[in-house]
Amino acid sequence: MNQDQRRPLPPVPAPYQLPFHYGALHNIGIDYLVDPAPVREVLAERHPGLAAAEFDGRACVSLNYQLYFAQYPNGGGITQEIEVNIIAHPAGAEGRLPALGYEQYARGFDQTKLLGIARIHVLCDNPLAIDAGRRLYAEPKYPGWFETVMPSLNGSPQERTWSVTCKAADFSADRTGIDRRDQPLFSFAADLTGLASEPVTNTPITGYGTHPQDGLLAGPMNVYQPYQHHPLDSDAAGRVRLVVTDPASGVGRHLALLIGDASAAGVWTYQSAPVAAHNRPYYVPAKD
């Protein structure tokens, strides 16, 4: 392809600016190795320009929960979202990819960055983030809300459990907020207490979206410190539990179809380091 045939960059619609800078990020991802046949079918429907990656004959479906903070000129905002992703690459790019097993992929060995996340569902509690994800990255993003428990320096230092329940929501009438519904869609829990982990450099993470007119696009996300990868053998796989509460919902149907009763293969986590601490007070003696 010569220079005259190359496409311009996708537009950045107002009021957005790129890159988008995260002030803090708390993140857990859970990977499942599954039967590739239904994965290929869903991927062909949602992202026809992509092919499912395979690791020793298994496809990979990943759940990705994020809690993040962003600072803006007029204040700040906190957002929660969860992605249901298929690990995929552009169709026809197989020859450019190294031969990898799952553990090598999880450790960031693919530096072509062709292996990326094909988003199937993205549920989010922030209308602005939903709009930005749709318009900038062609994400299939829609309202949801979350009840969570996660490790925190402001909690028990021994507690390493993550628990996320995703519930249904709608846009408010003026579309500036979301209306929460007391309808659980799915949940997962991961007890990582005492489980060995290792730092891995697996970013930038390539996120794939498919625009109905413009086709496939890719948006990389850099995380500036290593993730922690928690490999799960058969004994540790029971530490992770996925429950599909509403299999009739769109996301519930896909989770049941793609993951079913498969065991988790690995967990990866990231928690931003604290930047300040307000310490314990002390008494000041009165002057005699």
DSSP-based three-state secondary structure for 187: strand
Q: Please give the structure tokens belonging to residue 24.
A: 């803090």
Token code pair at residue 129: 């983030």
What would the pLDDT profile of 107-127 be if each residue is shown by its tens digit? 999 999 999 999 999 999 999
Q: Say how far apart CA 103 and CA 136 lie, in whole Å.
A: 31
Digit-coded pLDDT (tens) for 125-180: 999 999 999 999 999 999 999 999 999 999 887 789 999 999 999 999 999 999 99
Q: How confident is the model at residue 4 (pLDDT cuts 50, 70, 90)?
A: low
Instruction: Please state, in angstroms and as integers, the Cα–Cα distance from residue 213 to each residue in 138, 209, 216, 225, following that order.
Output: 11, 12, 9, 36
Q: How far apart are CA 7 and CA 9, in angstroms?
A: 7
Which of 37-41, 115-119, 237-241 has the weakest average pLDDT?
A: 237-241
Question: How open is the CA angle 85-89-93, to the nearest 5 degrees?
Answer: 175
Distances (CA, A) of 40 to 109, 157, 256: 24, 42, 15
Burial class (CB in 10 A: 0-12, 13-18, 19+), 134: middle
Percentage with pLDDT > 90 across the chain: 90
Q: Which CATH number fits domain 19-271: 3.30.70, 2.60.40, 2.40.400, 2.40.160?
A: 2.40.400
In the chain, % of residues over pLDDT 70: 99
Residue 32 CB partners (closer than 8 Å, separation 6+): 60, 61, 62, 63, 258, 259, 262, 263, 264, 265
Q: What is the pLDDT of residues 188-218, one digit of tens each?
A: 999 999 999 999 998 999 999 999 999 999 9
pTM of the predicted protein model: 0.94
DSSP codes of every residue in 226-255: -EEEEE--TTTGGGEEEEES-TTSHHHHHH
Strands 161-171 and 227-231: unpaired
Q: Would the pLDDT of 33 be above 70?
A: yes
Per-residue pLDDT at 270: 97
Range 35-39 average pLDDT: 98
Average pLDDT, the chain: 95
